[in-house]
Amino acid sequence: MRYLPLTDVDRKDMRDAIGVADFAALYADVPSELLLDRPLDLPRAKSEMEVERLLSAMAKRNLSAASAPFFIGAGAYRHHIPASVDHLIQRSEFLTSYTPYQPEISQGTLQYLFEFQTQVAMLTGMEIANASMYDGSTACAEAALMAHRITKRRKAILSGGLHPHYADVLRTISHFAGDEIVALAPDVRAREDIASAIDDSVSCVIVQTPDVFGNLRDLTPIAEACHRHGALLVAVFTEVVSLGLLKSPGEMGADIVVGEGQSLGNPLSFGGPYLGLLATRHSYLRQTPGRLIGETVDADGRRGYVATLSAREQHIRRDKATSNICTNSNLCALAFSIHLSLLGEAGLRRLARANHASAIDLVDRLAGVAGVETLNESFFNEFTLRVPGDAARLVEAMAEQGVLAGVPVSRLLPQAGLDDLLIVASTEVDTVEDREAFVAAMRGAL
C-alpha cells in the first residue's frame, strides 16, 4: 500500500468539505481516555531496509499460535486447515471475486454461495441462510435488528453467557437506533433465570451455546418462554465445529441462529477477516439482512443461480433497506464451504469428537493440580477454570514458559470481579505433549 502524506492545507480542505472545525471535533464520539494525545513512539526517517529490520525484530517478540502449545479461544479458535483449502481459494477466478454484482456472469460465485447457504442451514437446523455477514458479532447485531422488525418491538435481552464483545457490538449498533438492550449479569455457571426477564415488550432473547464460559445450554425451555410472549429466540455460537456434535439450535426452537464461521477454513489472522453466519426460518425470509442466492432455471430450462434477495441499501432505498451491510465475506465463505465439503458429515463429526476428547483430557489432567477448579458441568472444547490468584498474571507466567494458556475473564469483563477465572480452549491441533506442557507450566506458575 502506498503512503500518501498530507499537508496542513490538505487536511484543512478535507475538514472544510465535511464541515468539521478541527480534529478534536472529528473524534468527538471517541472516549477521551482512548485518544492518544502525543505522537506515536516510532523512529523517524528510516530507510525501507531499516524499517523491515525494525518490524521483524518487533514481530519476533511475539509468541505465535503455531510455535507454542496454544489454548486460547473465547471466540476465535486454532484449527487445522487442509492445504487444499488455501490452494483452491487462490484460483484466480475465486481470489479475484469480490461480490457478485454481475450475477449473469458470476455463476461460479453464485453457485458456491448457494452451496454455502445450504451448508449453514443444515448445520444450524434452520430453513434458510444468507450468503454470510462480516463476522459473528455483526451477525448477532443484525439478528437483533431483524427481531425488532419482525415483532415491532425494540427491547432485546442478552444472556449473561453472551460473549462480551458481541454485547458491545450490539450496544453500539443499537445506540443510535434508540433500541433498548437489557444485559443480564455475567453467568459463569449458566444458571441464570432468563424466562423471568421476558415479557410482552421483548422482541428477542439472545443466548449463546456453548456460551463464552464454555457451558452447553438447552435452549428449548428458553424458546418456549420466548414464544409464549411473542418474542424470538436468537441463538448464538462462536465455535461452529460444536455443531458437528451438538443438537442444532433450530431443533431447540431458535428463530434466528447466528455465529462465527472462522473455525472452518479460516485462520486466526489476528482477528480477521472472519465469517458471520446467519440462518432463520422461511417465514422471516424478507426480513433477512444481507443477500440470499437462489437456484432457478433460465429460458432454456438450464439450471442457474441468481441473487434472489438483496434488501441492502446499495440495492434499494436506504429507508427501506433491512441492513447497511455492503458485502458478504465471500472468500471466507468459500474457504468455509470447501473445508466443510472436504470434511463431509462424517468428517465433521470426527473433528468435533476430537475437539471434545482433547478438552476432556486436559480437564482430567488439571484435576490433579492443587487449587485449580473446573467450573463447567458440561462443555464442548472450551471451559472455565478458577485458579488461585490473578488469572491474567498466571497467563503471563505460563507464556514465559512457552505455553499460551487461555483468556483471563478479566480481559473480557474487567469490572465483573472475576479476576481468578481463566477460559481455556483445546482443539484437535493440541497434542498429548501440548496438554502435558500446559499442566506442567500451570504447576510451575502457581
User: Taking a C-beta distance cutoff of 8 angstroms, is the pair 153, 203 a contact?
Assistant: yes
**Residue from 198, 254, 261 nearest 230 by CA:** 198
pLDDT score at 329: 83
Whole-Å CA distances, 22 to 11, 38, 206, 409: 9, 16, 40, 39
Q: CA-CA distance, 173 to 183, in Å (whole number)?
A: 15
| pLDDT tens per residue, range 285-307 | 999 998 899 999 989 999 999 88
Neighbouring residues of 394: CB distance < 8 A, sequence distance ≥ 6: 387, 405, 408, 422, 442, 445, 446
Neighbouring residues of 129: CB distance < 8 A, sequence distance ≥ 6: 116, 117, 118, 120, 121, 277, 278, 279, 280
User: Taking a C-beta distance cutoff of 8 angstroms, is the pair 144, 264 a contact?
Assistant: no
Q: CA-CA distance, 259 to 168, in Å (whole number)?
A: 15
pLDDT score at 239: 98
254 grid coordinates: 431458535
Q: What is the CA radius of gyration of the chain?
A: 23
pLDDT score at 97: 52
| pLDDT tens per residue, range 147-161 | 999 999 999 999 999
Whole-Å CA distances, 121 to 103, 242, 251, 308, 406: 22, 15, 12, 16, 31
Q: CA-CA distance, 228 to 212, in Å (whole number)?
A: 27
**Residue from 238, 249, 278 nearest 77 by CA:** 238
pLDDT tens, N- to C-terminus, the chain (446 residues): 567 788 999 999 999 999 998 888 888 888 888 888 888 887 778 899 999 998 999 888 888 888 899 999 999 999 999 999 999 999 887 876 556 565 555 788 889 999 999 999 999 999 999 999 999 999 999 999 999 999 999 999 999 999 999 999 999 998 878 899 999 999 999 999 999 999 999 999 999 999 999 999 999 999 999 999 999 999 999 999 999 999 999 999 999 999 999 999 999 998 889 999 999 999 999 999 988 999 999 899 999 998 887 765 556 666 667 777 767 788 999 999 999 999 999 999 999 999 999 999 999 999 999 999 999 999 999 999 999 999 999 999 999 999 999 999 999 999 999 999 999 999 999 999 999 999 999 999 99
Neighbouring residues of 291: CB distance < 8 A, sequence distance ≥ 6: 130, 131, 307, 309, 310, 312, 328
pLDDT score at 42: 79
Strands 292-297 and 256-260: unpaired
